[in-house]
Amino acid sequence: MMSQAATVERTEQTSDRRERLGAIVSAKPLSLGGGFTARHFSEEMFCGSMDPLLMADDFTMTAPTFDPHLHAGISAVTAVFEDAHGEFINRDTLGHTIALKAGDLYWLTAAQGAAHEERPAEGACIHALQIFVNLPSHLKREPARSLHVSADQVPVLAGPGHRVRVLLGRSGAAVGAEDTPEEMTMLDGYLMSGSFQHRLPEGRQAWIYVVSGALVIRCGDAERVLGPAAATTVQAGPPTDVLIEAEASAHFVLMAARPIREPFVKHGPLVMSTEVDVQRTLAFYAEGKFGRIPS
């Protein structure tokens, strides 16, 4: 009879051999007004394998597009790419007015509720990635808070054929910002006919997006070939290496975290545990309980 320890070991080995790379998903084009275009992804497009990410927009904005608006139950994350020009003005109900610059990141943990407005300064052309990150139910009613990471605070992993900015979490010997509600790794990487390898820790799920160029993603015995505006995922499981390769210049983003795997109710940019929570949050916002955006 097989021992319990041997059974566990065999199960882990089988899990480790399982193909963990997901399907290739192409972004949906999005255009609003005359100053906003985006490549849009949502969690529905990945059948749950994007968890805890809910949405990602690779956008270019040249004119104010969105009025001040409420978020709740999520983190709204803006990572400004290095090819952006000018300043991206963020104002929120935490009392902040921050001019984000190329290479900066702003993480707004909306939690119980926070409103913000983001707009390009006059003459700016902002290329950035905005991500909505779900919060587990026990954090959805916490007070809102934020994290600003400036470009000069971001460690860089550089080697033959690659340059990777570690905005959040850890990769190799580099440690980026870690003051997020739940552990999160975010890499902003460039390949110049070369490769880069990231060690995905146990239990973490990854989302990999090609901003430009073409990449080959390898994990275990599986591989995916992705062109620009395409993304794939790596399922959570035992520790594994994710190898990213390119034959020419390419730009990618990798985000990794523990999946939450909890039910939720979406009401636009509000993502709460129940419909009652959604209605309560809307009522509190109408009563001005989340503060005011600076004028």
Q: In this predicted structure, what is the pLDDT of residue 295?
A: 76
Q: In this predicted structure, what is the pLDDT of residue 5?
A: 44
Query: Is residue 17 very low, low, confident or very high in pLDDT (cuts 50, 70, 90)?
Result: low
Q: In this predicted structure, what is the pLDDT of residue 8?
A: 38
Provide the percentage of residues in the chain whose pLDDT is more than 70. 94
Q: In this predicted structure, what is the pLDDT of residue 34?
A: 87
On whether the CB atoms of residues 112 and 271 are closer than 8 A, the answer is: no
Q: In this predicted structure, what is the pLDDT of residue 9?
A: 41
Q: What is the pLDDT of residues 186-233, one digit of tens each?
A: 999 999 999 999 999 999 999 999 999 999 999 999 999 999 999 999
Q: Chain-wide mean pLDDT for the chain?
A: 93
Average pLDDT over every residue of 172-188? 97
Domain 19-286: give its CATH architecture: Sandwich (2.60)
pTM over the 0.85 mark:
yes
Q: What is the pLDDT of residues 78-98, one digit of tens each?
A: 999 999 999 999 999 999 999
Provide the percentage of residues in the chain whose pLDDT is more than 90. 87
Q: In this predicted structure, what is the pLDDT of residue 14?
A: 42
Segments making up each domain of the chain, as ranges: 19-286
Q: What is the pLDDT of residues 114-173, one digit of tens each?
A: 999 999 999 999 999 999 999 999 999 999 999 999 999 999 999 999 999 999 999 999
